[in-house]
Amino acid sequence: MDNNNQCRAVKRDGNRCTNRTKFGHFCGRHLPTPRKDRSTLAKIGKGIKTLTEIAVVAGAAIKLVEKVVEVWQSLPFGPAPRMPRDYDYLVAQLGPIYPNMPDRYRPFSKGPDSVDWQRARQIYDTSKALLSALEAGTGTPETLAPQFAQLDRVTTELFDSMQEPLQRMLYEQIGREPEDDDNSTEMA
Ligand SMILES: [Zn+2]
């Protein structure tokens, strides 16, 4: 398989997931879709597969941003004294996050700019806009396609712009979650 099309999540056994990517760098199984939102999101789609997928992926993209904030906050240096406004915005939007301390740390230079917070905010805002359009019934697969494609692209760029140790920590954190739930999150 082309390396670029292989999911980057790292499974519990330490091996990288071999599924193909569905969104950003992740397969449908490893997109961290919020469990509580699944039935609601399914209803929004009203059986139109593409709209359902857009809704599920937009919800998952918000969870990805939350993961980025969570992992960043869990790093052992404490918050930097002055963070970019986009970071503060995301923390205010997402509410309190209680990070799990990672199993092990990999040294890298943590600074406000080690995550592209502007891109992270763009992912969050675009996902919210997509969900609003779906809730309002104003979106069709065709009209939402450009925003959706942009969301996919920016998510890939966000992960690619990170230092490798931070990337690796995120891929491990994301790969860890849906193991108890193998079938329901796969979007075939
Ligand atoms: Zn995967």
Report DSSP letters for 109-129, one per residue. ---GGGS-HHHHHHHHHHHHH
Query: 71: which strand partners?
Result: none
Residue 78: inside a domain: yes
CA of 8 to the centre of ligand 1 (A): 7
CA of 22 to the centre of ligand 1 (A): 9
Residue 26: inside a domain: no
Give, as one character, the DSSP assignment of residue 20: B
Q: With contact defined as beta carbons under 8 Å apart, do 106 and 169 qualify?
A: yes
Q: In degrees rounded to 5, what are phi and psi of residue 98?
A: -110, 95
CA of 137 to the centre of ligand 1 (A): 31
pLDDT, tens digit only, all 188 positions of the chain: 557 789 999 988 889 999 988 889 988 888 877 665 555 544 544 444 578 788 888 989 999 999 999 988 888 765 566 889 999 999 999 988 777 766 666 667 777 788 999 999 999 999 999 999 989 999 888 889 899 889 999 999 999 999 988 999 899 988 875 545 444 444 43
Residue 96: inside a domain: yes
CA atoms of 174 and 172, how far apart (whole Å): 5
Give how many domains the chain has, as a whole number: 1
Q: 80 lies in which domain range?
A: 41-170
Residue 134: inside a domain: yes
Query: Residues 18-62: pLDDT tens digits?
Result: 998 888 998 888 887 766 555 554 454 444 457 878 888 898 999
Query: Angle CA(66)–CA(42)–CA(118) in degrees, nearest 5?
Result: 25
CA of 84 to the centre of ligand 1 (A): 31
CA of 28 to the centre of ligand 1 (A): 7
Q: With contact defined as beta carbons under 8 Å apart, do 106 and 170 qualify?
A: no
pTM for the whole structure: 0.81
Strand intervals (E) in 15-174:
none
CA of 40 to the centre of ligand 1 (A): 24
Residue 28: inside a domain: no
Residue 176: inside a domain: no
Residue 182: inside a domain: no
Q: Which residues surround ligand 1, an ion (CB under 5 A)?
A: 7, 9, 17, 19, 27, 30
